[in-house]
Structure 1
Amino acid sequence: MEREKWLWIKISFGVSFILLIVKFYSFYITHSTAILTDALESIVNVVAAGFATYSIYLSSRPRDDNHPYGHGKIEFFSAGVEGTLIMLAGLFITYQSIYNFFFPNDLERLKEGILLISFTGLVNGILGLTLQKKGKKLNSLTLEASGKHLLTDTISSFVLIVGVFIIYFTGLAFLDSVFALLFSIYIIYSGYGLVRRSVAGLMDEADPVAVESTVNTINQHRKTNWIDIHNMRVQQYGSDRHIDLHLTLPYYLDLGQVHDEVEELENVLENNWPGVMEVFVHADPCLPDKCCHYCQIKDCEVRKFPIDTKIEWTALNMSKNQKHYHELI
């Protein structure tokens, strides 16, 4: 898995560098500020791909004494750096657009520029879709962020092409700065989205996708002895996932039986995750006067109250720090 991440991020870096040269050549022959915006964003692509290459390398390293949870969180930092660079490029493009509105350049060879930008946009689109697909498959935020960035670059490139076509056919040179300014706003917004996601990961904000997939896995293998699961916390760093939860078991089980139930739940979670999974389970005894109402053990010999409900396990009630009998109160 890590080797595949490494391969795709190196491909991204190499392709980004080549397209950077093509875009700056396109600006050189056209003197178009709108095309310059695309070229400047490609500088960000190259820098971000270089940083992403290092983050993929670091996140693949095993945990050590100084990093007991591994190095996967570097991918959040990588996405944040990439988003920040995108926003800075957008701000510079905004400045350049306003400047060229008052001091315009003479536009030349727009046909050749359009063809070159079309080529780079097509390549970025194919690579961006591939990186997003691989990022989801390999649980890599860095690959997903790089893919999203390239798709953003693709969209801006093709919108830019439309703008340059309009300039070419109308002869209205001032539109070059107008289109560049509109692109800069879009680029800044896209960068903000990456920074927001990065900060959320670094601050251990709950990941709804990771939580829901964990809940679904547990529900698929739910056992009657697992009376309830609560106080569940799910954190994901790159391809590493960490889960803490409390498991309510019948109070009459001996220590060996409790161990077996805990180990079975851990195996269920670990076997259904392609990356590294770390599970910590705290076992709680049931409270007969409160848990009997929803306990699903039909042949329980110490039952005090009949079963009168079955509580569905959801991300909401499994995340609360309380046994599920509180839902019946």
Structure 2
Amino acid sequence: MTSQKKATVVSSSVAAVLTLLKLIIGFASGSVAVLASAVDSILDMFVSIFNYFAISKSEKPADKNFNYGRGKIEALASVIEGTIITLSGFFLLYQAIKKAIVGETSQYLDISIYVMIISLIITISLVTYLNFVAKKTNSMVIKADALHYKTDVFSNLAVLISLLLVTFTGYEIIDVFVGGGIAIYIIYSAYELIHEGILVLLDRAVDEEVVSKIEEIIKENNKVNTYHLLKTREAANQTFVEVHLVFDCLITLMDAHRASDSIENKIKKLDTSRDWIINIHMDPYDDFKINDLHH
């Protein structure tokens, strides 16, 4: 098992343990903030499992059934996870509003505080480990996972402060506000997952900055007269590029092929961490209008 996979297994296992602890204490104590933190840990677990899944699938090459690979599974999973997390966030908001209206009081605050302190220590340790693996492997997935858990450090700290304030002041409204705030943050995070997943499923083009760099590479080659029908899309760690290059009609096939290879190699160097799938169509004249009518 690679270091990246081990890191995702560790992070998902830690998130599962923290989820179980927080759910038990959250329901027993009636603290909305602790419940919100539990749901946030569920989000962490989903993301870590998803990262393991993404890394595993990215290692599988395209085959006769999946000619373009399985990159879109990542986007589909993201949409499903985001939907589930959104429902969880609305449930937390309901719990917070219900507590504010009914006036429920939190129980087992001492145990809840201890659980959040333990969670904070474990999360900080996990972030340290993930940063170590990310630095060692230069994995973008693990770097993102480490960044995600860094935000949880602040979330756990906010819940801990909330519990301490409720303990010393007796104002339950603090728990309602903190729990509701985390619920809104969870819904926002889920929206980002769903939004990005849908855009990938719809074959959104890559960033304009990357497209501009690809165009510059093509224009720099003196063998190419012009180009058209430049298309790009992304799926998981793969970037797909299609383009029609127009050469002089008297150029040899060998020279046109060499020019195309040169352009392809330069495009791949834009980001060596990604798997580039480049399809170049060589035209002896500019047939853009003809092609445009058929697209």
When the two structures are superposed, what TM-score results if normalisation uses the length of structure 2? 0.79
Over 3 Å counting, the alpha-carbon distance change for 1:139 and 1:70 in structure 2 is: farther
1:225 paired residue number = 223
The reply to whether residue 109 of structure 1 matches residue 109 of structure 2 is: yes
The alpha carbon displacement at 1:244 in A equals 0.4
Kept in 1, the 8 Å contact 2:247–2:283? The answer is yes
Aligned positions of 1:1-329 closer than 5 A: 3-24=2-23, 26-27=25-26, 30-101=29-100, 102-110=102-110, 113-121=112-120, 123-124=122-123, 127=126, 130=130, 134=134, 138=139, 140=141, 146=145, 149-208=148-207, 212-213=209-210, 215-216=212-213, 219=216, 222-272=220-270, 273-285=272-284
Kept in 2, the 8 Å contact 1:9–1:52? The answer is yes
Amino acid at match of 2:11: S
The alpha carbon displacement at 1:70 in A equals 0.5
Kept in 2, the 8 Å contact 1:87–1:192? The answer is yes
Q: Bigger relative contact order, structure 1 or 2, given CA contacts below 8 A and separation 6+?
A: 2
CA distance in 1, matches of 2:183, 2:50: 23
The count of aligned residue pairs is 282
The alpha carbon displacement at 1:148 in A equals 6.0
1:313 paired residue number = none
CA distance in 2, matches of 1:125, 1:270: 37
Over 3 Å counting, the alpha-carbon distance change for 1:160 and 1:126 in structure 2 is: same
Q: Percent identity, please.
A: 23
Gaps of 5+ in 1: 288-320, 323-329
The alpha carbon displacement at 1:260 in A equals 1.6
- Using the TM superposition, name which of 253-262 and 266-275 deviates more: 266-275
Kept in 2, the 8 Å contact 1:167–1:176? The answer is yes
Kept in 2, the 8 Å contact 1:235–1:242? The answer is yes
The alpha carbon displacement at 1:213 in A equals 3.3
- Using the TM superposition, name which of 27-36 and 176-185 deviates more: 27-36
Kept in 2, the 8 Å contact 1:248–1:285? The answer is yes
When the two structures are superposed, what TM-score results if normalisation uses the length of structure 1? 0.72
Instruction: Name the larger-Rg structure.
Output: 1
CA distance in 2, matches of 1:3, 1:76: 23
The alpha carbon displacement at 1:54 in A equals 3.4
Over 3 Å counting, the alpha-carbon distance change for 1:85 and 1:34 in structure 2 is: same
Over 3 Å counting, the alpha-carbon distance change for 1:235 and 1:8 in structure 2 is: farther
Over 3 Å counting, the alpha-carbon distance change for 1:126 and 1:216 in structure 2 is: farther
- Using the TM superposition, name which of 149-158 and 251-260 deviates more: 149-158
> SS at the partner of 2:239?
strand
CA RMSD of aligned residues (A): 3.4
Kept in 1, the 8 Å contact 2:109–2:167? The answer is no
Over 3 Å counting, the alpha-carbon distance change for 1:258 and 1:51 in structure 2 is: closer
CA distance in 2, matches of 1:217, 1:5: 30
The alpha carbon displacement at 1:108 in A equals 3.4
The alpha carbon displacement at 1:59 in A equals 3.5
* Residue-by-residue CA offset, 1:145-186 (whole Å, 9 max, x unaligned): 755654454443222233223322321123322322222122
Amino acid at match of 1:43: I
CA distance in 2, matches of 1:145, 1:194: 13
Gaps of 5+ in 2: 290-295
Over 3 Å counting, the alpha-carbon distance change for 1:53 and 1:109 in structure 2 is: same
